[in-house]
Each structure stands twice: as C-alpha cells, then as structure tokens.
Structure 1
Amino acid sequence: MVRSFDKDSRKGSDGTFPLSNAPTDTVSIPDMSPRPSLSSLDEPDWPQTWRAYFCLTGCFFLMFNSWGLVNAYGTWSSYYVGHSLLGTDQLKLNLIGSTQSFLVLLLSNPVGRLLDAGYSRHVIGFGSVMVPLGLFLLSVVHPSELGVLANFGTVWGLQGFLVGLGMAPFFVSSSQVAATWFPKRRGLAVGYVACGASVAGVVYPTMLRYLILELGFNNAVRCVAGLTTVTCLFSFIFATPNPAHDHHEPKSWASKRTWFDTDAKNNKAFWWFTAAVAFMFFGFYPIFFNIEEWAAVLGYGTRDGVGIKIAFAEETDRPIETFWLLTIMNGASTAGRLLLAHFCDKVGALNMHSAAQITCSLLVLILWPLAGSENAAIAFCVVFGLFSGTVIGCPPASMANILNCTYSSPEDAHFAKKKLGHWTGMMYSFAAIPALTGPLIAGHMITTYNTYLTLQMWSGSCLLLSFVCMLFARWYLPCLDGEMVSIKLARKLGRHVDPTREKSCVSDVAFDERLSQAPTRVQSQMPSRQISREKVDQPERMV
C-alpha cells in the first residue's frame, strides 16, 4: 500500500525526492508500508453515495464540452469553407480549432495546480460561463443571411479564443475530480469520463448538421450553446471533489517549483515521452479538422457550399454526407478509449501506447492515401478512430509508468501518485505549441500544393516520429523483470554486463496489479496479496 503522510508534511508542493538512478537491492528493503486499517478493508469497491455518480456524470460533461468540441470542429470548418468564410485559406480555418486545443493544453499545468490546492469550484465555474457565452456571442455576430461573409477575426476570437479559454479548466478537472470519488475503480471511472470527448464528437456534428438545414446556422449554434449551458450547469453543481480528499496549497505561488517540478529536469524518460506527445499533437488534429474537406474534394462525400481552391472530383451515386465520416471516427474512438482502460493493466500503458501510435502512423501514411472509394474512406475512419482513442487517451497512463519507476522505493512511492497531475500538466503544456502549429502547417501545405497528400504525409510522419520518441522513453524504463532494456540487449549480444548499470523499478506487492509496464517481481513482507490490492489509487489507468 502506498505510504501515507500527514497534512503538515503534505502542505506545499516543494517536498520532493531526487531521481533514483542507483541500483536497488530489492531483497534488503523492509516493508515500510503501514498496515491497512479496518475501515479501508471494509470500504466497498464502488461508492455507496449518489453524489459520486452524479459527480461522474458531471465530469463526463466536462470532457464533453472540452475535447468534445475540438473533435467536432471539422463540421464547423466544413460549413465555414462553403458559406460564411468562403475562399478563406485552409490555414486560417484550421487556426480556429488549433487555438482551442492550444489553450486547453497550455493551461493544463496551472489548472491542475489550482485543483490540487482546492479551487475546483472556481476553475469549473469559469469554464461554465466562458464556453456557452462564446457560442451565444458567435450566433449573434455571425451573419444570418446566406451569401454574406463573416469576419474571420470575430469568428476566431469568439469560437477559437473565448470558447477555447473556457474549455481549458474542463480538461484536467474532469479526470482529477472524478478520481476522488472512485479510489478502487479509478481507472474505469476516469475511462468513462474520457469517453465524453468522443461521444461529443458524435453528438455535436450530427446536431449541428441537421439543425443548420432546419433552422439555419445561427439558430443551430444557439441550440448547441443551449446544450452546453445545461451540461455545464450540471457539471458546476455536481462535479465537486470528495470532501474526504486532502488538498494542499503551495508554500508560495511565486515559487518555480510550484509550477515546474525540478525532479523532472534530469529524467530522460520524461523528456522523451514529452517529445512524443508533442509530435503526436503535431499530426493528430489535422486529421480531424480536414477529414470532411478531403472527402468532399475527392467526391467520397457531399456537403453544401463550394469555395475551396481544389477542384471537386466526379461524385459517386448518393455519396455519404461528409459529417458522417467525422462522426464515425469519433464513435470508433469511444471504443478505443474503453479498451484502453481494460488492457493497460495487462500489457502496460506505454507498451500499448507505442503499439497504437505506430498503427495510427501506418494507417495515415498507407491506408488513407490508398482510400480510393467511399467504402475505403469509411473503413479508414473506423480503424483509425479505434486506435486514435488509445493514442489520445494514453499519455497520463504512460506518464504514470514513468513516475512509478522514478519514485520506486517504499519511502517515496507516494510521490508517484501525488505528482501525476503535475507531471502530466507539464507534459501537456509543452505540447501546446505543436497543437497550435500542426494544423496550421497542414492547412498551409494543402493550399500551397493543392493536394491532401501533403496533409497525409505530414500527419503520418509526425505520428511516426512520436512512436520513435516513445521507443527512446521506453529504453530508459525497466522491463517486466526489472532489468533495463540495454542490459538485456548487451547480454543477447554476448557483451559483458556491468551489474552497477542495472536500474530496476522496485515493485512491492502493493505495486503488483501491473500498474506499470515494468513491475518487478520481488519478495514482500505484506501480509497477503488481497491486502496489497488496497493500493487503489491507480494513476496509470487515467485516460
């Protein structure tokens, strides 16, 4: 069981331990974990209060109104390019969606730190006002007459910046708040919350498409804003942390260690994985933002309006409407996120993440360019959507693997849980610039070279580079038996192995549940395996 510590020692964020790079003698380490209390043994697997499940629903809606709106932006872009922003460069159109993802990622670190300090009501309340307000204002300033062009700066300012600013508090809050109510089912609870993004990617495009046809764009946006208002209000009321959850304010908000944990600066696995996430965002969202226009240009789907510079191919009989492709992709992503929560514990989060990443890159580099029919386009959306759910949901789980191997001894193992939000927030903040510039680069290449092949090669190459960085991160983490990859490789090549170079990730029975991709099987003095399973805060399964 993870070692607990009193409130005084937890107050502030400066208490850290140096990175453990020295070999660890797992046999000589005594069991320093406190014995579980009778109350913890009697605690049910699932909460018995209705507040926990209302909070879970509220957190689902937080994700629904953050990354869900980003995932649905392709349908907005498809309308803009054929109507109110006719003739606008694809780079500018992508800028609206990429600004949203940029703000969500950039503010992940400060939002997470505020949540740790107990300001969840403030950050969720801020987002609950900004997201509906931005959408309502967009429906007011957008021209209501067909054929009248909108002002790009106004659309970007309201939908890109104002709505994106409101999304930022929702992303981190959704998982952190829900996890406080489900200590023994944290992974599954947060996995269900993560599905809010992909479910919104189904609901919002479908809703927007049909309401535009029936009511017009402005009224359709008002209906979407009404839905966000109701769901945000529900989240503000019910998405509150468990009162028993302990918060800790930093000693000084101006301290550098409050916002950047200096323990991470020498951790090679952390930096390689952060680079992997940055490359992932370089290439990931250009696919979601441009899939509808690609289908319309090549004649695999139809949408109202014209105005793109690339000429349309001859359309097939009764082609699918393009918004269905984005809807299918997001729907398949839901299944991918649920599979993530189930299989991460079996194969390891970083291992699973790497496998999904290389699969996505090959799909984009090979299958997408070869999709020469409507059925092939649908097949690509289904298969890519399935693996993309794992790719976009795995970073917190993979970061937890790195933390468990960084803080591996029983004395400092509790920091692996305590610092998960902090390190994950830092990782996402570093990925903010790639999330902003990736879709812009892809949009510029589309208009410059007049082909979507540039988008496919750009996104596929970025995802492939992300996979390579994940391999380097994996190199600095131990294998299942606690032995480093370099040691195993040297032994296979017949080279002399220096035992002092071996770094193992200590895994007491309390870490046994395959929480990381590299638990070490060691003898433990814990009374029983059942008691060891009371280590219920499983950060690796956050998605």
Structure 2
Amino acid sequence: MSTIGTPGEHEMVVRGGPSRAPSSLVADSTPTPTSTTARDDIGDTSPSPAISDSNLRACVICGASFLVVFTACGTLFSFGVYQELYESMAGDPGSPFVGASPASIDLIGTLSAAFMTIAAPLATAWTKRFSPRAIIVLGGLLFLLGSLLASFSQSLWQFQLTQGFIMGLGTCFSYLPPVTVSPTWYGRRRGLAMGIILSGTGVGGLVWAPAIQAINARVGYRNGLRISGALAAAIIMPSGLAIDWDVTSKSRIREENARLASRRGSASSSVSVWRRLWDIPLIDWHVARTRKFTAQILGGTLQAAAYYTPVFFFSAYARTLGYSPAAGANFIAINNACNAIGKIVIGLLADRWGRLNALFVTTLISALASFAFWLPSTLVPSVMSGRGLFITYSIVYGMFASAYVSLFPASLVETFGPQHFASVNGVFYMARGLATLVGTPSAGALIRSSAQVTMPEGYWRTTVLVGSLLAGASAGVWWVRIEKMRS
C-alpha cells in the first residue's frame, strides 16, 4: 500500500472571464462577510477557484451524479418494501423465508447498506486509479447481477448473499465515484450542489418504493427483482459515462499514477496489474491521530448505526398500526420525499450558516424526533394517536436525518482539506458501513420475535436505541466543530 496525494485542491470558476454569469452551483469568488461565531467554515483550507472547466460541465456532473444516486441508493432506500413482504412470507412453509426473524430478514438490506460504504476505500482508490466512468459501469453490472441472482434464490442465505452483499457492492461502485468526484467541482455552493446530488436518495425512494411494491404485486417479487435490476443498470451505466474528474484533478492523478508505476517497475506485467487493483492509498497518520478525526469518526459511525433502521422498518411498522402493504410503501415514499427536500433546502442554508452548524442541528432534531414521536407511537393505547405520531415522525425524520448524508462529504473537505479528502472519505465511509452492519441488525433483534411484530409495542426498544445513537452522533458533530474552531 502507498500514500497517495488527493486531487481536488481547487474550486470551480467560470471560463471566459467576467462576461459569463456564474452558475448558482459553481464557486462564486465574491466574498460574503460573516461572523466567526456564526459560521463553522471560517478558515476553510479549500484553495481559491482555479479550474477552467465550464459551468455547463459542472451542471452535467450534478445531473448525472443525481441520476446514479437516484437509482442506486433509491432502490436501497426502498428495501422496506421487501422487508415487509419477506416478513409476511415467514409463515409460508413453501417460501425461502419460512421461520425467519425480522432481524435475519433485515440482514439482507443491512448487508447492502453496509457494503455500499465498507468497500469505499477500494472504490475511491479505483476511481483515481482507473476512471469514475469505469467504476460506475462496474457498479451497474454488479447491481444487475445481484438482482438476477436474487430472483433465482431459494433460501434466506442466498438472498443475503445476492440481494445483500452483491447488490451492496454494486451500490458502492455506483455511488462512491460521484460523491468523491463531485465535491471538488463546487466551491461556496458545495452544500447546495451535494444536496441536489444526494437528494437522489430521497427522490429515488419516493419513486422506487411504490413502483417496486406495484411491480411485485403484479408480477411477483422474483420478476420484480429482474425488472428493477435491469431498469437500474440501464440508468446507472449511461449516467456514469458523463461523470469524470475536472481537468486539474485529472492531470494530477495521471502524474500520481505515473509515479506509482515507475516505483513499482513495469506496470504491464500481470503482477503489477494485480497490485494496482489492491494498492489502496493510506490515510496520513498525522491526520488520523488528530482529535477532530476521532470526533468525526465517532459521530459518523453512531449516526450510521441508527440511520437505516427506521427506513428499513417503516413499512413493517406501519402494518402494526393497521396500514396495508401499499400504505406501508407510501410511508417509505413520504419519508424519501422529505429526505429529498431536506437535503436541498438544508444544503442551501448550510452554505450560508455553516455546514457543521447545520450538521449538528439536523442530527440533534432527528434524535429528539425519535424520542418525541416514534417512541410514543409504540406505547400509546390509541391506534389513531399512534398513527398521527408515526406520520409526524416519518416527515421530521426524513427532513432532518437525511441531511447528514449530503453534508457529510462537504464537511470532510472543509475539516480536513482537499489534499486529504479522498483518503479520509474512503476511511469514514468504510467506518459508517461497519457501523451499519452492527447497528441495524441490533435494532432489528430488539424487536422481540417475528410472532410479536404485529404489535407496535414490539418496537419500543428499537426506537430508544435509534434515538440514543443519534444523540451520540450529535455530540460527535459538536466535538468536531469545537476542534475545528481550535485549529
């Protein structure tokens, strides 16, 4: 392994001088006076704008990245539809899920969500070593392969391997290149741009959840997996062909790769090719030993451990309140609609108020909402009151918890600098994936048994865990803010 410098020590500017109006997404060099007590990004180490790529290209990157995220993550955020369906089949002696507990079924979605980020160091290294386009196309092919193999699976472990692990890798190689490449294209509007791109998770869930539920109801879940997998690959791969590094980063990456090849000797041998695949850049030890690194990884892992649990169990929990499967899918859609709106609006506000400030406030609100709305909905005797509380929670959680996902990469650029972004990005996403692999199954295991999933009371322990983890994540973000102000 080797330590490799990171591209992206730049921001976006308008080519052709002042005669062209800057896009609302690309960097604006006009200074905006702010108070050092109100903003957390004062002292941002991002260099001044210096890229010659056009505004149109930046908008194309934004649109193509949105489509990739819309598809890869939108289908992941719709897993609650499958969670509810597979749980309903647990009592069918002829189904692959006979006797399965909610936690073991949830492991399918958890593996997919976890490996979406566990393989992040590999995905980000390959994005630099080869190209974002090649890695996104690989992701689309893996997504299609996982869907097809899942459609022929005959037992739970096979679904965990195909719909979980393989589709998780497909999501990783589709999702990580856009979130690695995109932040370096934008300057002062980075929060808005990443909000638009990552709103694809919410818009995708809004579209894919009811669509998958309708397809499954009409042609069965096996054909549904085949159809959704083919559609996803047909969107991911062409969109990925439009995503690439900016000119400055591409030139720097070529120089880095040339230096690596010269140190290894002949890059044409099969050994060198194999080494190129697994030669992952190491994070700078001086960065890893700082308190702000510790604070960032603490907050990120705690948030990830909680984040997917409500999304995966929304549909199943809605059934305990008397809703139909279609209505349960609609809860996922409502949550994802709020997810998309929240990422864009909060991203825009974060550019003005500070990204770490916004990250702290939104994470704290999502924690409080879990205690104030979801927990009481599991304990109140009135079903109608429980429904009202749960609807409120779906909206509030979707609006505020999702903002962490869009603000997280933008905050990394500012906290650690563009020169360390790619390496810390991979490490933090890997840590988040490992946390998801532990947190979400643990939350599912707290639902006492598959026989008691039909009662709202079976979920109260899970709601307490989710709220507590998000409260800890809020404390982690506040710690990052303090350390950044000190430095």
The TM-score, its normalising length taken from structure 1, stands at: 0.70
Deviation at 1:275, TM superposition (A): 0.6
Deviation at 1:55, TM superposition (A): 3.8
Question: Counterparts in 2 of 1:529-540, with a 5 A limit?
Answer: none
Structure 1 contact 81–87 (Cα < 8 Å) conserved? no
Deviation at 1:391, TM superposition (A): 2.3
Which has more helix, going by share of residues? 2
Structure 1 contact 62–173 (Cα < 8 Å) conserved? no
Q: State the distance in 2 between where 1:37 and 1:394 align.
A: 24
Structure 1 contact 90–447 (Cα < 8 Å) conserved? no
Structure 2 contact 132–177 (Cα < 8 Å) conserved? yes
Question: Counterparts in 2 of 1:489-528, with a 5 A limit?
Answer: none
Tell me the residue number matched to 2:227.
223
Letter in 2 for 1:380: Y
Please give the per-residue CA displacement for 1:242-284, whole angstroms capped at 9, x wherever unaligned: 4554342355479999222212122101111111110111111
User: CA 1:367–1:186 in 2, change beyond 3 Å: closer, same or farther?
Assistant: closer
Q: State the distance in 2 between where 1:465 and 1:175 align.
A: 25
Please give the per-residue CA displacement for 1:337-380, whole angstroms capped at 9, x wherever unaligned: 00232111222111111111111111112211223332332121
Tell me the residue number matched to 2:157.
153
**1:66 correspondence with 2:72:** yes
Choose which of 124, 145, 148 in structure 2 pairs with 1:133: 145
Choose which of 450, 464, 467 in structure 2 pairs with 1:457: 464
The TM-score, its normalising length taken from structure 2, stands at: 0.78
**1:99 correspondence with 2:111:** yes
Choose which of 251, 254, 261 in structure 1 pairs with 2:284: 261
Choose which of 165, 173, 184 in structure 2 pairs with 1:169: 173
Deviation at 1:53, TM superposition (A): 4.3
Q: State the distance in 2 between where 1:440 and 1:211 align.
A: 27
Q: State the distance in 1 between where 2:197 and 2:103 align.
A: 32
Letter in 2 for 1:377: F
Q: State the distance in 1 between where 2:82 and 2:65 align.
A: 25
Tell me the residue number matched to 1:394.
407
Structure 1 contact 58–231 (Cα < 8 Å) conserved? no
Deviation at 1:38, TM superposition (A): 9.2
Letter in 2 for 1:208: I
Deviation at 1:234, TM superposition (A): 1.5
Identity rate, percent:
19
Q: Which runs of 5+ in 2 are unaligned?
A: 24-52, 90-94, 261-274, 378-384, 453-457
**1:279 correspondence with 2:256:** no
Structure 1 residues 337-346 or 152-161, which shifts more? 337-346
Q: State the distance in 2 between where 1:89 and 1:181 align.
A: 45
C-alpha root-mean-square deviation of aligned residues, in Å? 2.9
Report the secondary structure of 1:65's partner residue: helix
User: CA 1:185–1:466 in 2, change beyond 3 Å: closer, same or farther?
Assistant: closer
Tell me the residue number matched to 2:243.
239
Choose which of 465, 468, 476 in structure 2 pairs with 1:469: 476
Structure 1 residues 460-469 or 45-54, which shifts more? 45-54
Letter in 2 for 1:268: R
Q: State the distance in 2 between where 1:155 and 1:385 align.
A: 28
Choose which of 358, 365, 380 in structure 1 pairs with 2:371: 365
Choose which of 313, 321, 324 in structure 2 pairs with 1:302: 324
User: CA 1:229–1:265 in 2, change beyond 3 Å: closer, same or farther?
Assistant: closer
Q: Which runs of 5+ in 1 are unaligned?
A: 1-10, 17-32, 143-149, 304-319, 404-415, 479-483, 485-504, 506-543
Q: State the distance in 1 between where 2:434 and 2:131 align.
A: 26
Please give the per-residue CA displacement for 1:10-53, whole angstroms capped at 9, x wherever unaligned: x972599xxxxxxxxxxxxxxxx9xx999566665247576554
Q: State the distance in 1 between where 2:279 and 2:140 align.
A: 29
Structure 1 residues 80-89 or 344-353, which shifts more? 80-89
**1:112 correspondence with 2:124:** yes
Letter in 2 for 1:266: R
Q: State the distance in 2 between where 1:91 and 1:268 align.
A: 35
Report the secondary structure of 1:45's partner residue: coil
